[in-house]
Amino acid sequence: MDLQTLWFAAVAVLWTGFLLLEGFDFGVAALLPVLGRKPADRHLMLRSIGPLWDGNEVWLITAVGAVFAAFPGWYATWLPALYLPFVLVLFGLIIRAVAFEWRHSHHTEAWDATWTRIITAGSLIAALGIGAALGATTLGLPIDADGTRVGGAFAGLSWSALLGALAVLGFSLVHGALFLALKVDGDVRLRARAFALRWSPVAALPLLAWAGITHLRYGTPVTGVLWLVAALAVVVAWTRIRLDREGAAFAAWAVLLVASAATIFGAAYPVVVPSTVDVAFDVTVADASVSDYTLMIMTWAAGVGLPVVLGYQTWTYWVFRKRLTTEPVQEEPTEVVPA
């Protein structure tokens, strides 16, 4: 495998990892008004992602950074063509982060409710924006021979952007519900499981359609098999939910994303930005890549730093692995020592 292919695969893995981890964050936050019927329920839901959400966002920074460093031609075409979706992503992530921090600075019902709504809104905006950007990128953008977007500011917001937005949102909602069923106890767990059971077949359709269309346009028999794996994962997830096996359902739903992403990126390779104007204007891995020497240096740097990051994040998930309840935490009495 040459270095250009290796780094294309690395970018695909980073985007998949981001959607896999941040997906349940987005889903839990988006489901706050649906599953969190009482303040205690909403507090429990936010506690489930509290130690994890900011670390998961590192995957987004790394994915975009890898595109910028390894494939500057991809980055230079991609971001200007999809300026509006990326602005929405940044806006959603910023207000979401502020809301997470400020929600705990003052304890009144109105204050908590306001910032909880902002967390939900920010998560929905970010999920839809990321999906729109990825969907439009993999299924085609109106770019000319210079890699410049043709048309007005909304030219990149096509049906493919809408499909990608619905795919990421649908996946995230069920992913978040399954995470809650696995992570919390009580009424929230039961409502989350019921939500996943009811909506998982519908929520999977946009993602399967996105992967299926990409395969039909550019794919190979291998990507066809991967798409079948993704479809089968939906059936397995649904049956596991019915049997109250939350862990198996969560894993199967994750397979849906991994197999769909492998189908999309595998079918698209070596094209990184297809043009809807003319196939001759497609941006390929070879067109967008930096030199092999630069890629070699990046590979060595990633080989040193990546295991450290993965180890730290794995440790974080292990530390906060226990199921949460709405029961108040009993604090041990503090002994006062006389001066």
pLDDT tens-digit series, residues 140-197: 888 888 888 887 667 667 899 999 999 999 999 999 999 999 999 999 999 999 999 9
**pLDDT (mean) for 236-260:** 96
**Residue 337 pLDDT:** 42
Residue 173 within a domain: yes
**Residue 336 pLDDT:** 39
Residue 150 within a domain: yes
What burial letters (b/e) apply to 246-277, b meaning 16+ CB within 10 Å? bebbbbbbbbbbbbbbbbbbbbbbbbbbbbbb
Residue range(s) defining the domain that contains residue 61: 3-199+273-294
Pinpoint the alpha helices (H) of the chain: 3-30, 32-35, 39-49, 53-56, 58-70, 72-81, 83-102, 109-139, 159-183, 187-218, 221-242, 246-268, 285-288, 292-319
What burial letters (b/e) apply to 295-305, b meaning 16+ CB within 10 Å? beebeeebeee
**Residue 155 pLDDT:** 66
Question: Residue 81: is its pLDDT beyond 70?
Answer: yes
Nearest CA-CA partner of 131 in 182, 173, 95: 173
Greater model confidence, 62 or 1: 62
pLDDT band at 79 (very low <50, low <70, confident <90, very high): confident
pLDDT tens-digit series, residues 87-139: 999 999 999 999 998 887 777 888 888 999 999 999 999 999 999 999 999 99
Greater model confidence, 252 or 143: 252
Residue 216 within a domain: no
Total of domains in the chain? 1
The percent of residues above 90 in pLDDT, for the chain, comes to: 70
**pLDDT (mean) for 64-76:** 94
Residue 324 within a domain: no
pLDDT band at 312 (very low <50, low <70, confident <90, very high): confident
Residue 38 within a domain: yes
Statement: the pTM of the whole predicted model exceeds 0.75: yes
Residue 111 within a domain: yes
